Structure 1
Amino acid sequence: MLQAAFYEFLQTKNDFQLLGVKGDKEAFLASEVALYCGKKSYVLPDLRANEGDDLLSFHEEMVELLRVLHAFYQDASSKKILIAPLRTLLTPLPKAELFHTFTLEFGMRLHVERFREEMFYWGYLAVDVVQGKGEISIRGDIIDIFPPDSDKALRISLFDDEVESIRFFDCESQKSAKDEVESFALFPALFALDEERHTQMQRRIDTLKSDSFTKDIHSLGLWVLGESGAVYTEVFKTYLSMDAVAECEEIALFDEESAQKLRTLVQIPESKQYREIAPSNIKTFIELHQKKKITLLAKNEVLLRMVDVDALHVKWIQSERIVNIMSADEVILSLNKPTTKIKRKSARIVLDELKNGDYVVHENYGIGIFKGLTQATVLGATKDFVLIEYLGDDKLLLPVENLHVIDRYIGESGALVSVDRLGKGSFQKLKAKTKERLLEIASEIVAIAAKREMIDGLCLNVDETEMAHFEADAGFVYTDDQKRVIGEILSDFKSGKMMDRLLSGDVGFGKTEVAMNAIFATVRSGFQALLIAPTTLLCSQHFKSLSQRFSKYNIKVTQLDRFTTAAQKQVILKELKSGALQVCVGTHSLFDVELFNPALVVVDEEHKFGVKQKEKLKNFRENVHILSMSATPIPRSLNMALSSIKQYSQLLTPPSEREDVRTFVKEYDEKVIKEAIMREMRRGGQIFFVHNRIATIEAKRKELLSMMPSLRILTLHSEISASVTEKEMLHFEEKAYDVLLSTSIIESGIHIPNVNTIIIDSADHFGMADLHQLRGRVGRSKRQGFCYFLVKEKEELSESAKKRLIALESNSYLGSGSILAYHDLEIRGGGNLVGEAQSGHLKNIGYSLYLKMLEDAINALMGKTPIASREVDIKLSISAFISDMYIAEDRVRLELYRRLSRCGSIHDVLEIEEEMVDRFGKLDVPTKQFLQLIEIKILATQHAIVLISNYGQTISIKYEDEKKVTLQSRSRDDDDIIATVLTYLRSHA
């Protein structure tokens, strides 16, 4: 009854500035009442951090907390109110004096070194490429900075020490907006400190008791503000809402000091006149209360027309507020619905896509070891090369303009990688063998697709009204992605063509709900539907979901798997054959059943089925609609090749009620483990504990039992048989155990909403993609998920390992995950399409090259043969490279080299050039010449030229058909040689 009590309270009390509520939801409701009553409302996020906690794990909340506090302090109005969840009130809130701003203005003088220092004290992190809030990058006369209170980052261009332009830029593309900004008030990333205050705080942090992985202002700054820098709630005249009172008692159980603070606060009394309302039929409700004073809140007239209300009886206020209360003589009713925040975010941890020591695959020479960029001078011309090491210390220098011929090697996880030998030709034979097999696979895929095209599809009559009711009964709001994909499936059903659709999306993003819509439409059209999953565990999960969802509609759902008794199986088979049973969920045994009138088969994680089962599925594919679901994404390029033979849909947006996973990096400590397990068990949840060594997993179990003897632990790893694993996992899902101690076998395909804490032992031994996948096992329900990355000796960790773990800690939001993680997953997702039987070929040439060849094979069979990519040998004695004076960071240069080497047109090169000028300033001579070299390469490819070389002023051009052309440049200078070649190529375009 928060809204009613607060509204009533505001009618008499108006002289306070701070309201404490239970959580985010209550803060929103209170804020709506305050705004309706004419107060300016500022809402702090729910920061559930205890003193000494690492604040990097609360990165999003910290950014929001500082942004809202700054805005509140800036507001001189007397009618302002700060609304804060109780946990946030218990943290020291920074005072107004820690929120200075620095105004940047066009034409002002800016001393770069002094500015760099000041921003460091203000909490900005120096990075190579600005991608997140609170980061800064200074590159000569270009400064990129992302203030935490801004939606976009800023790019400041200097001319000497004068500000020449201020523009916003997009972190994903790194491109600036065209419009300039006259001035901008920079806000601190943390607190506006000077050198002295910064040093004092760092000293306090060093003595603070905390198990935080990093001990700096970003991790622990809030806890050392001290009385001089922090506002505690006693300073304000603070009121507590009724909803917060229960929470107070809960806090008192754990923390007496906090409880003492809370006892000084004043409570808002329960409402006497008003109560909250939630009418289901607004028109009927208004007719019942028409003698009262009725105020309707609606953001537009359309909402009024939708409820069809007689305007004479009501007062309509155009407002976006959501307040629903009534008294004996008044009704305030809102027609607005809360807007759901879209949580879809793009990856923002940019770590080197290629690092020294990574395995790479060269299209012609096979697997080698990447050794970074190196510069060499050949015949008086300086160029950048990529150094690749092969077996027997052989080295290959690859010109950077040909970087497109290599890719990161991704093989079977955990498999040993064998490096190839240069110049043996064995890799070419391997490629040829793989190509043969791929053409078989591709022709199989295309043949099935062609066959289906010939068949008249089952046309299903879908009732739109019924589908709308089914959606309304879901109990949550569908994401836009879900609505779009359901629409695509229903269109397929009505089209008269057979559907063969692949649906990919992260686990928990709502694939099952989409499948249930498809099944519901099928059954309502009078047909049968099957849902087939590769494991008994997945099967039982789907059976539960479908049974709950369809019970209301009198749709019978059964389950057929290895745990079904012989008698039950007989009944199910009989009912499926007669048509008495409409929906059946099962494992591969469903491939052999006889059906009365099947119309849809939903296949979950199809790539996990064996060869024989896939053969049976092929027979299905010819005369029923197929919906395949996968939790791994499909590479964009392969998706395009497949789109002509298979429909493809993606779910990229998580459900609005899903929480982010709170991530902590900690040194291994029994106290941390005990606390994490106890907290999860207190709320009735279960825990995953990942220990990735089978040899010591039993010792780990004993260690956990010595800490907590009553713990019920299930131990699983790859040496335990599949049937035992499945049976035990079902017991775990039925809550027979508290902790699942396992190797990383839980990395994919497990969806247990009751597990919301995962502890990963020796996290530094995992790859970034694996850690991101493991973290994704928790936080799948509406509960907050917790992930602990434990490391043995943090001092012994390499800098890059630390960097990766910290990046994961402060990027725990949904849909995050490094470019690297996505790259791995995406490539593996493509591998799923062709099945695990191909693992031999994949291991030999790597996923990326394998998929490229599969793409080419499909395109060739579809008559879309791409022009064979010709290699142009350019031997011009010109110095052409992206200079390290222009871009200092190797990885940024490498990324640009990769992109430029893949350019297919001059337009692509010009776009990158524009971006480079924007990001790094005016091109220097070697960099400009490198871009011209790429232009020469593209034009030469288009003209079937295979070689361009020069000796002094004489330039030789050789064509594919052996034709030769000789040109004379004005001088031996680089610019003259380039100009002569470009003039010739352009004139022959």
Structure 2
Amino acid sequence: MEALLGPDQPVRAQGLRGSSRAFVLARLVSALPRTYLVLTPTLSEARRLAAEVRFFLGEPEVPAHPGDERVVVLPAWETSPFDAIPPLPEVSARRLAALARIRQGGPLVAVAPVTAVLQRTLPPEALEAAVRSLGVGEEVDRDRLLEHLVAAGYHRVGQVSERGEVSARGGIVDVFPPGYPRPVRIEFFGDEVESIRPFDVETQRSVGRLDRVVLLPAREALAGDGAIEAAARRLRERCRELGLSRAETAEALEAFRTQAGGVLREVFFAYLYERPAAVWEYLPADAVLVREGAAEVGARARDALDDAQTAHDRAVETGRPVPRVADAFVGPEEWEAFAASGTRLDLEELEIEGGGGRALAFRTRSNDGLVAELRRRRGEHLLEPLVGAVEAERAKGHAVWFVARTAGGARRLADLLGGYELPLGEPEPFAEEPAADGGLHLAVGELERGFGFPAKGLWIVTDTEILGEKVRRRPPRRREFRSTLADLRPGDAVVHVDFGVGLYRGLVHLEVAGEEGDYLHLEYAGGDRLYLPVTRIGLVQRYSAPGEGPVRLDKLGGTAWQRTRAKAQEGIEKLAHELLEIYARRQLAERPPYAPPDLAYREFEATFPYEETPDQLSAIEAVMADLSGPRPMDRLVCGDVGYGKTEVAIRAAFRAVHDGRQVAVLVPTTVLAAQHFHTFRRRFEGHPITVGMLSRFVGPAEQKRVLKGLEDGTVDIVVGTHRLLQRDVRFKNLGLVVVDEEHRFGVAQKERLKKLRARVDVLTLTATPIPRTLNLSLSGVRDLSVIETPPADRLAVRTVLARDDDDLVREAIRRE
């Protein structure tokens, strides 16, 4: 702090390794509460550094109220201003929320990739003029509020689901503004704001109350009073400057007038302002510029400005009326002047002689050596190098902090280290000034990297460093199923128990035999109509069938539905008889329970490179409970592609092999067999487990070796196609059969599977269960686990309506 307030600039804090840069920055903002603009080379580094600073400040990721946060991330557009593709609404919202918070002033750490500050934005006065604050009990003209929101870049829709959207229904206005984790419902009584409530996007139900809401603009491109005409004038002048013909200019102006009021407004961002602003115009006079690696930040800035010039020149060559580079980005001279002025702090990993300014050496230590040693370990007792390092630190009187990213990860870490006689207590907040007490501490927070700080008597190590990086999955968006006819929409197909499949046309009020009542209007083939009293609603249920083809309606009074019912009844009775025999034998069958999970299993599951979702954990726990019981398992795990079903099978296979049993993984295709073979072999790398494969991809000699290994027990796990069901395949001690996509096997293969089921544990994985299998699970005959959480980083499809443009198509493909 003393160096920052001195005349020698910049201050170079050197020898900061791991997350020690965030540690120093957090201590600095507490001691010298100013606005710190922290520049990183990339967005991923900005997000990581922001998360680390939040941890050391004890800052929640989502503040109780927007504007209360002390750490924000300012992202850059993921598109170029010279493309005809607007940025994502979420990106615009995050930029505006960060800019508004920077304008508010410190104490604040605003972290941004350098590209985010090179791009120009709306002037600070334009942002301030577009902000609208509403409180409960205030008088507000609803219609004028809607006009203001549309001018502020909100897109009017029927139902709000994404940031930057607004909808109105009578006296209710729903809006999803920047800075809020959920959309907000504003309810009016006349012109008075009666209530303000956040609500869930999926269920549309309120989840609390607010006294006030601050409505920031949804886009950086604002179309206020007179802005459209002024922008059209600038666009016309730009077309003249580029030498475009009268027809080309007219086409550009038409495109602007049709798109500037909609979601493509950012395409014309530079024309909407007389002078777009630089981000640093939002900073207070005493702000501190921080660079995480000054050389890398400077090089990335130069590359970004060169790329912008190249993109501009390429767009001009195609005849597009793109703005000047100087209207979309700051110039090199402007950037260099900003980077060389004011109070500056460079956070450096290496200690470098010279360079100007004042250098401060911190001499922290990274955990890279320990991480490399842990990665080299194979087999059991994987964490012995960590145990030795912990004992060495404690012998010096240093405090040792273990940091896990989630509460579940903290429990797992405590469980693992407990097996090495390193007792960890309950998670605790990270101390503002951690004492060198020689103790063991556990905390939860977004920290990927630790560090040693001998001068502070502190050593931090994270679960990511100990167990490997885990990819986090987004929370699932769960959609509620329609469970009552009140949720049906006219046109939905329904089934009447006596008359078959028809269309629900709505609820009508009729007078029949002198009595009035409500009736369900059902339409059948040929236009036949049936009015069903709501008191007999139990005779009707929703129609569901595989595929998305047209629904075939039954005819009132026809015999087709009765024949369908009779055939279904006959099939049900036959299936029930067959299942009774199979599952009666399974219920009577017993096998020795598997040994309980030990330290080796806990270390194995901890090396899974993804963060388990609640659904996945539930499925794993159910399978583990099945294996610990005396009856053979027969469980169906249902989930979409990439949702983590294979890991459930891998953990079951690990327990089976460690219990002295063999595992067969049955798949329908050779390609899937090869995929599973490599996945299983990679996950079991370093463990004394042999994995083999049987398919037509495997040569005769290798097949012979695998068959012999299965018979004498030297092959623990075999992955194969229907080849596994042939009679020459004999196991020494088969204990678990994993079946992937059962519906793709033929009748003969399924008969062979039925015989296996009576003797061994069976785990079926599927994304599309056949009706019989699903019915068995739903009826409780077979156990069912469902994984509904999507995989990490699965993005929604984005649709943009734009003019036909080969360059636009090329750019969209390139960004994919």
Could you state the TM-score of these two structures normalised by the residue count of structure 2?
0.69
- Which whole-Å CA distance do the structure 1 matches of 2:712 and 2:444 have between them? 58
Q: Which runs of 5+ in 1 are unaligned?
A: 680-785, 787-989
Are 1:212 and 1:219, in contact at CA under 8 Å, matched by a contact in 2?
Answer: no
Q: 2:77, 2:116 within 8 Å by CA — same for their partners in 1?
A: yes
Measure the CA separation in 2 of the matches of 1:469 and 1:18.
41
Could you tell me whether the CA contact under 8 Å between 1:52 and 1:210 is conserved in 2?
Answer: no
Match of 2:730 in 1: 594
Q: Distance in 2 between matches of 1:310 and 1:374?
A: 73
Return the alpha-carbon distance in structure 1 between the equivalents of residues 675 and 257 of structure 2: 37
Whole-angstrom distance in 1 between the partners of 2:24 and 2:140? 53
**Aligned letter for 1:505?**
G
CA contact under 8 A between 1:54 and 1:213: conserved in structure 2? no
Equivalence for 1:256 = 309
CA–CA distance in structure 2, aligned partners of residues 93 and 381 of structure 1 = 67
2:292 counterpart (241, 246, 256): 241
Does structure 1 retain, via aligned residues, the 8 Å contact 2:713–2:733?
yes
Question: Mapping of 1:144-155 within 5 angstroms?
Answer: 144-155=174-185
1:209 Cα deviation (Å)?
11
* Larger displacement relative to structure 2 (17-26 or 226-235): 226-235
Aligned to 1:218: 263
CA separation of 1:54 and 1:498: change in aligned 2, threshold 3 A: farther
The residue aligned with 2:103 is 73
> Cα offset for 1:526?
0.7
Aligned residue for 1:541, secondary structure, equals: helix
User: How far is 1:139 from its partner?
Assistant: 3.3
Q: What's the counterpart of residue 366 of structure 2?
A: 277
Q: What amino acid is the match of 1:660?
A: L
> Residue deviations 1:450-502, cap 9 Å, x none?
22111013422244211111113333433343333222212211111111111
Aligned to 1:907: none
| Residue of structure 1 equivalent to 2:148 | 118
- CA distance in 1: counterparts of 2:705 and 2:388, whole angstroms: 49
- Where 2:686 maps in the other structure, the secondary structure is helix
Q: Which amino acid aligns with 2:143?
A: E
Q: Which moved more, 1:380-389 or 1:84-93?
A: 380-389
* Residue equivalent to 1:650: 786
Matched AA of 1:21: T
- The one-letter code of the counterpart of 2:308 is D
Structure 2 residue aligned with 1:554: 688
Paired residue for 1:470, among 578, 587, 604? 604
> 1:84 aligned to 99, 112, 122, which one?
112
Q: Aligned match of 1:196 in 214, 217, 225? A: 225
Give the TM-score taking structure 1 as reference length: 0.58
Do the aligned residues in 2 keep the contact of 1:211 with 1:666 (CA within 8 Å)? no
Give yes or no for the alignment of 1:540 onto 2:674: yes
2:46 aligned partner, one-letter code? A
Aligned match of 2:754: 618
Q: Which 10-residue stretch deviates more, 83-92 or 524-533?
A: 83-92
Residue 33 of structure 1 deviates from its aligned partner by: 6.4
Change (3 A) 1:457 1:208: farther
Equivalent residues of 1:531, 1:584 under 8 A apart: yes
Tell me which of 155, 168, 171 is aligned to 1:138. 168
Please tell me whether the aligned partners of residues 515 and 602 of structure 1 are also in contact (alpha carbons under 8 angstroms): yes
Query: Does the 8 Å contact 2:396/2:438 carry over to 1?
Result: no
- Identity over aligned pairs, percent: 28
> Which residue matches 1:30?
49
Task: Give the distance between the partners of 2:669 and 2:491, measured in 1 at CA.
Answer: 37
1:553 aligned counterpart, secondary structure = coil
Structure 1 residues 480-491: aligned runs within 5 Å: 480-491=614-625
| Cα distance change on mapping 1:512 and 1:250 into 2, 3 Å | farther
Partner of 1:20: 39
Partner residue, 1:452: 586
| CA separation of 1:678 and 1:511: change in aligned 2, threshold 3 A | same
Q: 1:65 to 1:610 in 2, by over 3 A?
A: farther
Match in the other structure for 1:435: 569
- Shift of residue 295, structure 1, vs aligned partner: 6.8
SS of residue in 2 equivalent to 1:255: helix
* Alignment correspondent of 1:343: 474
Instruction: Confirm whether residue 231 of structure 1 aligns to residue 277 of structure 2.
Output: yes
Counterpart check, 1:64 vs 2:94 = yes
Whichever residue aligns with residue 42 of structure 2, its letter is G
Q: What amino acid maps onto 1:111 in structure 2? A: D
Q: How many residues align?
A: 675
Q: Deviations over 1:58-85 (max 9, x none)?
A: 23333333333333333x32x4232112
CA distance in 1, matches of 2:649, 2:177: 42
Letter of the structure 2 residue corresponding to residue 606 of structure 1: E
Q: How many Å separate the matches in 2 of 1:641 and 1:329?
A: 60
User: Which digits, 9 at most, give the CA deviation of each residue in 1:617-640, with x for residues without a partner?
Assistant: 1111101001101124899x9779
Cα separation, 2, equivalents of 1:342 and 1:334:
25
Matched residue type, 1:629: L
Deviation at 1:253, TM superposition (A): 6.8
CA contact (8 A) 2:643 2:787 kept: yes
For 1:48, the equivalent position in structure 2 comes to 78
Alignment equivalent of 1:334, drawn from 431, 449, 460: 460
Q: State the alpha-carbon separation in 2 of the partners of residues 460 and 672 from structure 1.
A: 59
Q: Residues 835-865 of structure 1: CA distance to partner in whole angstroms, max 9, x if unpaired? A: xxxxxxxxxxxxxxxxxxxxxxxxxxxxxxx
Q: What SS does structure 2 have at the residue aligned with 1:552?
A: coil
1:289, distance to aligned residue in structure 2 (A): 6.6
Q: Distance in 2 between matches of 1:260 and 1:112?
A: 39
CA distance in 2, matches of 1:641, 1:449: 13
Mapped to 1, the partners of 2:731 and 2:742 lie a distance apart of 21
Does structure 1 residue 494 correspond to structure 2 residue 547? no
Residues 402 and 463 of structure 2 are in contact (CA less than 8 Å); yes or no, is this contact kept in structure 1? no
Is 2:699 aligned against 1:565? yes
Q: Give yes or no for the alignment of 1:531 onto 2:665.
A: yes
Q: Distance in 1 between matches of 2:35 and 2:758?
A: 71
Residues in 1 aligned to 2:159 and 2:770: alpha-carbon distance in whole angstroms: 27
Alignment of 1:794-813 (within 5 A): none
Equivalent-residue separation in structure 1 for 2:307 and 2:725 (angstroms): 55
Give the structure 2 partner of residue 105 of structure 1.
135
Quote the Cα distance in structure 2 between the aligned partners of 1:49 and 1:117.
28
Q: Distance in 2 between matches of 1:214 and 1:404?
A: 51
Quick one: distance in 1 between partners of 2:593 and 2:394?
50
| SS, match of residue 501 in structure 1 | strand
Aligned to 1:491, the other structure's residue is in SS state helix
Alignment partners' CA distance in 1, 2:731 and 2:765: 22
Would you say the 8 A contact 2:121–2:220 is kept in 1?
A: no
- Contact 1:53–1:212 (Cα < 8 Å) also in 2: no
Given that 1:52 and 1:212 are in contact with CA atoms closer than 8 Å, whether structure 2 keeps it comes out as: no
Question: Which residue does the alignment assign to 1:162?
Answer: 192
Instruction: Give RMSD over aligned pairs.
Output: 4.8
Q: In the alignment, is residue 519 of structure 1 matched against residue 623 of structure 2?
A: no
Q: Which residue of 2 aligns with 1:508?
A: 642
Larger displacement relative to structure 2 (568-577 or 377-386): 377-386
Asked if 2 retains the 8 angstrom alpha-carbon contact of 1:131 and 1:348, the reply is no
Q: Look up the SS of the partner of 2:110 in the other structure.
A: strand
Kindly report which structure 2 residues correspond to 1:658-737, keeping only aligned pairs within 5 A, or say none: 658=793, 660=795, 663-665=798-800, 670-675=806-811
What amino acid maps onto 1:19 in structure 2? Answer: V
| 1:318–1:95 Cα change, 3 Å | farther
**Following the alignment from structure 1 to structure 2, what is the Cα–Cα distance between the partners of residues 290 and 499?**
47
Q: Does the CA-based 8 Å contact 2:187-2:194 persist in structure 1? A: yes
> In structure 2, what residue type is equivalent to 1:530?
A
Distance 2:195 2:435 in 1: 56
Structure 1 residue 561, shift from structure 2 partner: 1.4
Equivalences for 1:739-750 in 2 at 5 Å? none
Contact 2:399 2:435 in 1 (8 A): no
